[in-house]
Each structure stands twice: as C-alpha cells, then as structure tokens.
Amino acid sequence: MLFHVRMDVHLPHDMDPAVREDTLAREKAYSQELQRAGKWPEIWRIVGEYANISIFDVESNDELHQLLSGLPLFPFMKITVMPLAVHASDVKAG
C-alpha cells in the first residue's frame, strides 16, 4: 500500500540544544533505516518550510502508524496521510 505523507515539524524554541541534536540524529538514522528497507522510498523537502512530503510503501494502515509513531520527531510533528491508488492514465501502470 502506498501513502503520501506530509510531515510538518514544530520543535519547541526552548528545546535543550543537546536534546535537539540527539533527537535529530536519531530521526535521521531511523528514517534512513526505513529508506534502506524500502518502506520509505521517497522523501522530499518542502522549500522554505521545516516539512517534507514522503511516500511510504507498507503492508497496512497499522504498519504505517507504527512506523510514523516510531519517529523520534513524532511528538513534534503534524502529519497528514493520504492513501494512494494507481491512476488509470499512468503509463507505467500498463
């Protein structure tokens, strides 16, 4: 199942710099692990925002929820999820 996921990050301005650095490092490691596993095949920065658009390829809604809630930045995110389906006009769909 494919999902289009928008993640907007809102870190507290008064967050301890050491906690911020550790959280961002854990976030990067976790997201790259999911990318290498094929669960997170696309990630794109939204220009001018602390946000991204990503494509997830997972087995179920529950798996997506588990992966997203495991993000170290999850407590500081607003996440919008849109399930995707193949479009009849997609030339790659055959």
DSSP 23-69: HHHHHHHHHHHHHHTTSS-EEEEPTTSSEEEEEEE-S-HHHHHHHHH
* Longest Cα separation, the chain: 52
Number of other CB atoms surrounding residue 71 within 10 Å: 19
pTM for the model stands at 0.91
Residue 4 — very low, low, confident or very high, per pLDDT cuts 50/70/90?
very high
Structurally, how many domains does the chain consist of? 1
* 94 pLDDT above the threshold of 80: no
Better-scored residue on pLDDT, 88 or 41:
41
93 found inside a domain: no
List pLDDT tens digits, range 24-43: 999 999 999 999 999 999 99
27 found inside a domain: yes
91 found inside a domain: no
| CA atoms of 76 and 71, how far apart (whole Å) | 10
Task: Specify the CATH number for the domain of residue 57.
Answer: 3.30.70.1060
Residue 70 — very low, low, confident or very high, per pLDDT cuts 50/70/90?
very high
Domain that residue 47 falls in: 2-86
